Structure 1
Amino acid sequence: MEFQEALMRLIIHKPLRKGVIVETQKESEKQKWKVLSFRRLSKQEIPIEFLCPISGSLMNDPVIVSSGHSFERACVQVSYTLAFTPTLIDGSTPDFSSVIPNLALKSAILNWCNKNSVEPPKALDFFSAEKLVLAKMDAQQEEKGLIQRIKQSPSMMFNQAATKLTLPPAHFSSSSEESVDTNVWNPPLQLTTPHSCYSSASSSSDKETLDLNPNPEEEELITKLKSPQVYEIEEAIISLRKITRTKEETRVELCTPRLLSVLRSLINSKYTNIQVNSVACLVNLSLEKANKVKMVRSGIVPMLIDVLKEGFPEAKEHACGAMFSLALEDHNKTAIGVLGALPPLLQLVRSESEWTRHDSALALYHLSLVQSNKTRLVKLGAVPILLGLIKSGQMRSRVLLILGNLASCLDGRAAMLDSGGVDRLLGMLRESGLEAQSTRESCVSVLYALSLGGLRFKGLAKAAGAVEVFSQLEKSGREQTREKARRMLEMMKAKEEEEEEEEVNWEELLVSG
């Protein structure tokens, strides 16, 4: 500024010398008045379309937002971060959901500056833009409050309204010990409680006290995750995934409603890296027991279901893992089933990805521990699908766990008996190369649950040669497995004896009659 003032005095009071400011003597006078006019240039002489509606200055990096308005990029980033929507001069409100560089406007501004010998605008940094946006928020909030007071007091004179409009913000006090310092910016207050920080002491609460001291790490992550730049979001989400994977102590601290809200908007992103890493972050957060109910109540499950249905393959893997982790909590089981997670999980049991199949099967197992989800799975046709997986030899151990839960309810037993479950399970027990003892035990447990079906099970089991299979199981394996085989064998033999006795009695009756 000192250099500019000195140059102006030089131009006004001293004659120009050749080669100092102008290139030729013929253009010296013209150039002198041209420089002089640029120095005295006011905002009224600058085309209004070159000025940012928020900063009021020439734009260095203009961008077009979704609504068609042009702003300085830094002002858009800060406004989006603070969830602030300014009201423009014409009364319209912009939409900051997406931005596109306005190269034509930038070129026009630079050409205009060169033509008028105006210094090109400098780049606006984030913190300077933040101060401008916060000031705009204060002014807009005060204006809204003034309009509201005018509506409530129709008799207010115009000069009284002007007086209130010029009052310093210090009259918005919260308590005797918590006066507002008008010379100090307080961004955290604006970030956490926008448009409500002017409340009186009667509206203060513990929640506001917590908001005044946010986690710096969380604030930084949220700011980057809300950035309109895709690469910044990718960097932030990858960083969050790494933090939640390696730092177990931060999982509970970072699992806040604000962060979950941001992740909820990212897991359906059209960008592969953003969707995959955001869902992976949810898996990491769900590992802590204290976070499981909180995450379900935040509304994250419907978004995960969308990923299960239409997400990228790797994102589906992580979404199945997240569902499995959240289903471990008993309070979540019914809610997850009601929200509609069972159909896509049942479909992904047959996925080409091994991890997707295993995690979806484990999620179904834990969800099927609840009676309401058992009924839903049976109605969805889960039994034929699961029995088909047993026949193909895929994930037998996990599938048998689900079938065991379904066999414990009346509808599940009926569906398994209708679908040939008894014959399929007995055929599996006859295999000499059954992969694990635990798989054999699970198969016996499912059959034992089906045996509660009464006469129909006994008839199907007898036709499938169950007596021979149960006799072999009674002689080998664990005590619990042998006991179940013995009980099923006794039940079938008892039935055969009863039938023989009944046949003899009927013969006698017929002969005597």
Structure 2
Amino acid sequence: MGDTGRHKWFSFHHHRSASATTMPQHNSPGETPTEFLCPITGFLMSDPVVVASGQTFERISVQVCRNLSFAPKLHDGTQPDLSTVIPNLAMKSTILSWCDRNKMEHPRPPDYAYVEGVVRTRMDSLPPGSGHRIAKSEILPPVAENSNSNSDYDSVMGAIRSRSRTSLSSTTSLPLHQTRPINHSTRIQNSFSTSDYSSFPPMSPEEEEIYNKLTSVDTIDHEQGLIQLRKTTRSNETTRISLCTDRILSLLRSLIVSRYNIVQTNAAASIVNLSLEKPNKLKIVRSGFVPLLIDVLKSGSTEAQEHVIGALFSLAVEEENKMVIGVLGAVEPLLHALRSSESERARQDAALALYHLSLIPNNRSRLVKAGAVPMMLSMIRSGESASRILLLLCNLAACSEGKGAMLDGNAVSILVGKLRESGGAESDAAARENCVGALLTLSVGNMRFRGLASEAGAEEILTEIVESESGSGRLKEKASKILQTLRGGGSEFGEGAEAREWNRMLEASGLSRSQFQQGGQKGGFAYSSQF
């Protein structure tokens, strides 16, 4: 969030009735990262939590807003969903480390009365009807700090599914042989009466036609409406944006959990197409789709699972979605799909989804804990999706847990062996470069690497790469840096240089992080899923 937006939002923070002792006293340096600041108080967060819509707040700020049944409008015009709270331990650890580096006190929780004054001032300053009141039925108990990852997942998934099914009754209650589910369709139609959308912009003729089919009393109309939505959004960028409305998303949220395979498959494919546009990526995640997509990935039809993997890949490209998708539990089912899916496209998209998720540290830890390293090393041995698996391993090698797991799993020997197998084949050029990239990342600031590489005979094959007339300049540069380390001249790979070298390696490979924040086919990998 930019400075301009933050000044506008925080102009009321210093509430006159709050004394100096009620505010946390942080001697913040001039350039405090904005993501460390609570969007409500503007202070460094002492107990950051992720809410259901994906934003991070100070826990007390969320408690106050919930107690006052108020969801503030943020600087970007969105209103957060405060119904569920998950401790953001990765953010908390990052903030504390930043404070230590800057010789600052660790942040203390703000006083409840002060935060309440801030929120009440905000409420009073808004025109009537411009704030969102939270219904008590929407508020669920927060996730406990010491709860395990399964209960975190179940809490968030249950909350979103509960809200979804309250407003949009799912077809899961219907027998598969029923062809005219009158009760289900009637419930959909009643749930989305005209009065529910009285505050929404008027529908375009195209949206209205699709909307009428999706709210029909006949399942055949649902199928036709979804097929029309899928075809319309397949190649038209403008239509993807214009049809990604709250009305359509609400209906898709119900239809994607349908037990009718055709309905579920076309709903999933429509979400993939809508998600290709950058403005839609955050909107889809904040509409509560991630838990539903994960449900389909675990138990949906084979074709629907393939589309869901493509959707998660597309959504994971957006920087702000990476944390939420990881927290909600997408890592393990994506790993399972990477290993076990019968579809080559599904395996490729699963690898790319995991690659994008692994660009943030907490998701790397999740991957390591889920057993990704031994699984991927086994896949490299067998030659499965080698190039993209190696890219994933490059990311995991950039964190201490991943590096340790790779070294313990004999990764150096496996990677050197892969280099020998590929030889100078042009078809394996990308895999060779990624393989050397993974070795380079493992070599950074690690005392064990030299001995393991020597034992595996890495120097010989790396020397061949450097002296070869074929091969890209990037490949030779990476191999040369590893040789420098093996021969004792790699002082730049000492402590504290790991992150810098990793970023340089990404940039040299044309894989800078900024590419993956652009969305669409212009940045990073081209999407393999478009339906």
Aligned counterparts of 1:467 and 1:336: Cα–Cα separation in 2: 40
CA separation in 2, counterparts of 1:375 and 1:74? 47
Q: Does 1:421 align with 2:411?
A: yes
Residues 16-68 of structure 1: CA deviation (Å, up to 9, x unaligned): xxxxxxxxxxxxxxxxxxxxxxxxxxxxxxxxxxxxxxxxxxxxxxxxx99xx
Shift of 1:364: 0.6
- Asked if the contact 2:335/2:350 (under 8 Å) is kept, the reply is yes
Q: Which 10-residue stretch deviates more, 261-270 or 73-82?
A: 73-82
Equivalent position amino acid for 2:290 in 1: V
1:219 positional shift: 2.9
Moved more, 214-223 or 337-346: 214-223
Aligned residue runs from structure 1 range 193-272, under 5 A: 193=198, 208=199, 210-211=200-201, 213-272=202-261
Indicate yes or no: 2:359 matched with 1:369.
yes
Residue in structure 2 matched with residue 493 of structure 1 by the alignment:
487
Relative to structure 1, the CA distance from residue 263 to residue 450 in structure 2 (aligned partners, 3 Å threshold; closer, same or farther) is same
Task: Give the counterpart letter for 1:480 in structure 2.
Answer: R
- Identify the residue that residue 439 of structure 2 maps to in structure 1: 447
Tell me the residue number matched to 1:338.
327
Partner of 1:385: 375
Name 1:484's counterpart in structure 2.
478
**Secondary structure at the residue paired with 2:478?**
helix
1:83 equivalent to 2:73? Answer no
Per the TM alignment, residue 226 of structure 1 is displaced from its structure 2 partner at its CA by 2.4
Q: Which amino acid aligns with 1:494?
A: G
- Structure 1 residues 267 and 75, CA, compared in 2 at 3 Å: closer, same or farther? closer
Aligned partner of 2:458 in structure 1 is 466
In 2, Cα distance between equivalents of 1:403 and 1:461 = 17
> What's the CA shift for 1:81?
1.5
Higher relative contact order (CA 8 A, sep 6+): 2
RMSD of the alignment, in Å?
Answer: 2.4
Q: Distance in 2 between matches of 1:79 and 1:489?
A: 67
CA shift in 2, pair 1:335/1:483, >3 Å: same
Task: State the Cα distance separating 1:244 from its structure 2 match.
Answer: 1.2
Structure 2: tracts of 5 or more residues without a match: 1-172, 175-180, 491-531
Distance in 2 (alpha carbons) for counterparts of 1:408 and 1:321: 26
Per the alignment, in what secondary structure is the counterpart of residue 324 of structure 1? helix
The structure having more radius of gyration, on CA atoms, is 1
Determine whether 1:327 maps to 2:321: no
Would you say the 8 A contact 1:81–1:223 is kept in 2? no
Q: Provide the C-alpha distance between the structure 1 equivalents of 2:325 and 2:182, rounded to a whole number of angstroms.
A: 41
Written as runs of structure 1 = structure 2, the 5 A alignment for 1:423-438 is: 423-431=413-421, 432=423, 434=425, 435-438=427-430
1:481-509 deviation line (CA, Å, top 9, x unaligned) = 2222223223222389xxxxxxxxxxxxx
Distance 1:320 1:75 in 2: 31
Which contiguous aligned blocks of 4+ residues in structure 1 show a shift greater than 3 angstroms? 73-80
Deviations 1:310-348 (A, max 9, x none): 110001110011011111111111111111111100110
Whether 1:303 aligns to 2:278 is: no
Q: What is the identity, as a one-letter code, of the residue corresponding to 1:269?
A: S
**TM-score between both structures, scaled by the size of structure 2:** 0.55
Cα distance in 2, alignment partners of residues 214 and 495 from structure 1: 66
Aligned residues: 307
Aligned partner (choices 401, 419, 424) of residue 391 of structure 2: 401
What SS is found at the alignment partner of 2:444? helix
2:281 equivalent among 278, 292, 303 = 292
Q: Look up the equivalent residue of 1:484 and give its one-letter code.
A: K
How does the TM-score come out when normalised to structure 1?
0.57
Question: Larger helix proportion, structure 1 or 2?
Answer: 1
| Partner AA of 1:446 in structure 2 | A
SS in 2 for 1:436: helix
- The structure-2 alpha-carbon separation of the partners of 1:459 and 1:228, relative to structure 1 and needing over 3 Å to count, comes to same
2 CA distance for matches of 1:77 and 1:371? 44
Q: Is the 8 A contact 2:185 2:219 kept in 1?
A: no
The Cα shift of 1:285 comes to: 0.3
**Structure 1: segments with no counterpart, 5+ residues:** 1-64, 67-72, 85-186, 194-207, 497-513
Rate the CA distance shift 1:374–1:215 in 2: closer, same or farther, 3 A: same
CA contact (8 A) 1:276 1:314 kept: yes
In 1, Cα distance between equivalents of 2:334 and 2:293: 11
Question: Post-superposition shift, 1:418?
Answer: 0.5
